């Protein structure tokens, strides 16, 4: 189930990240962020500013070197590897610039993959939920088609449904429209906004498209390892 409106689904306090090496490379210098249920946030910044690093930490794919990260109220530093895996599976959904659909699976099978990985099989209720989402995003006639017979926009819409399969509390999207033409990109963005407002799922989107960024509820910029709000 999605979190209640106004409930924090992700919170960071003084988040820092430094990559080790002969010369350690600091990337994030102290990020404070609070994302609530149903909120749509865009993050902008120059290449190498730490946007994707932040997104990976928010999704428990990477660990910070300082500060606190809470996902769904849980301090991720207290979790084991198994606990982090459960968190990623049940609480967080991911959408990437490349759709990463499996060519040997149909549209429906790809969309249901998170459930299949977690449980081995999907219930009839879960499959109906996924079918209903695919219909809502205009893929009702594509359920049995394979990725190589679908357009880039259709594949990315399927990837978004896949991110929603486990009914996560938050979806992290890293340049989700980067490989699409402007029309398909706007279509994918509208879908994410719709899911955010109607289902109550929070979205955090990293993008270079300032036009889409300014259509979010909030715009945040990462610059010199720090985050600041940007006027809409």
Name which of 68-72, 182-186, 189-193 the model is least confident about: 182-186
* 3, part of any domain: no
Residues in the chain: 232
Query: What is the DSSP-derived secondary structure letter of residue 4?
Result: P
Q: Does any domain span residue 2?
A: no
133 occurs within a structural domain: yes
pLDDT at 2: 45
Identify the CATH number of the domain in which residue 66 sits: 3.40.50.300
Token pair 């659909």 in the structure block, residue: 101
d(CA 26, CA 131): 44
Residue 64's SS3 state is: coil
> How many domains are contained in the chain?
1
Entry pTM:
0.89
Greatest CA separation found in the chain? 54
187-193 contacts: CB < 8 A, separation 24 or more?
Answer: 187/153, 187/157, 188/153, 188/156, 188/157, 188/160, 189/215, 191/137, 191/157, 191/160, 192/40, 192/95, 192/160, 193/40
| pLDDT higher than threshold 90 for residue 186 | no
Q: What is the pLDDT of residues 33-91, one digit of tens each?
A: 999 999 999 999 988 889 989 999 999 999 899 999 999 999 999 999 999 988 988 89
In a domain, 109, yes or no: yes
Question: Over the chain, what is the mean pLDDT?
Answer: 89
Alpha carbon 57 to its chain centroid, in Å, reads 12
Q: Give the pLDDT confidence score for residue 76 in this predicted structure.
A: 93
Structural domain includes residue 92 = yes
Question: Rounded CA gap, 203 and 173, in Å?
Answer: 7
pLDDT given at position 144:
97
Portion of the chain with pLDDT greater than 90, in percent: 59
Instruction: Report yes or no: 214 and 220 within 8 Å, Cβ to Cβ.
Output: no
Nearest to 28 by CA among 45, 42, 40: 45
Count CB atoms within 10 A of the CB of residue 96. Answer: 18
Residue 12 has pLDDT above 50, yes or no: yes
Which pLDDT score is estimated for 5?
A: 53
Q: Is residue 4's pLDDT more than 60?
A: no
Whether the predicted pLDDT of 208 surpasses 90? no
- The parent domain of residue 182 ranges over 8-230
Using CB atoms within 10 Å of the CB of residue 54, give its burial: 0 to 12 exposed, 13 to 18 middle, 19+ buried.
buried
Question: Token pair of 217, please?
Answer: 């509820």
Q: Are 40 and 203 in contact (CB under 8 A)?
A: yes
Pair type for strands 40-44 and 202-206: parallel
With beta carbons less than 8 A apart as the criterion, state whether 92 and 60 touch: yes
Within a domain: 78: yes
Read off the pLDDT of residues 142-179 as tens digits, 9 standing for 90 and up. 999 999 999 988 998 899 899 988 889 999 999 888 88
Say if residue 7's pLDDT is above 80: no
CA pair distance 140, 172, nearest whole angstrom: 25
Q: Tell me, yes or no, whether 1 lies in a domain.
A: no
Residue 186 CA to its chain's centroid (Å) = 17
Determine phi and psi for 84, rounding to 5 degrees. Answer: -65, -40
Q: Is residue 27 part of a domain?
A: yes
């Amino acid at each position: 189930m999605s979190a209640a409106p106004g409930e924090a689904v992700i919170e960071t306090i003084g988040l820092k990240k430094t990559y080790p090496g002969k010369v350690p490379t600091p990337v994030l210098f102290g990020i404070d962020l609070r994302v609530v249920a149903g909120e749509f946030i865009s993050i902008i910044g120059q290449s190498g500013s730490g946007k994707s690093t932040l997104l990976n930490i928010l999704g428990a794919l990477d660990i910070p070197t300082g500060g606190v990260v809470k996902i769904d109220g849980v301090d991720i530093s207290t979790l084991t590897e198994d606990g982090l895996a459960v968190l990623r599976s049940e609480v967080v959904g991911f959408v990437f610039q490349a759709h990463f659909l499996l060519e040997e699976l149909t549209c429906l099978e790809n969309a249901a993959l998170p459930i299949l990985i977690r449980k081995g099989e999907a219930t009839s209720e879960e499959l109906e939920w996924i079918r209903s989402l695919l219909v809502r995003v205009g893929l009702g006639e594509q359920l049995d088609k394979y990725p190589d017979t679908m357009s880039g926009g259709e594949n990315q819409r399927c990837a978004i449904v896949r991110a929603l399969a486990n009914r996560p509390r938050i979806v992290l999207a890293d340049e989700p429209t980067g490989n699409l033409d402007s029309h398909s990109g706007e279509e994918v963005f509208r879908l994410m906004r719709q899911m955010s407002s109607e289902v109550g799922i929070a979205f955090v989107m990293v993008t270079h498209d300032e036009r889409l960024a300014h259509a979010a509820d909030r715009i945040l910029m990462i610059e010199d390892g720090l985050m600041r709000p940007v006027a809409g």
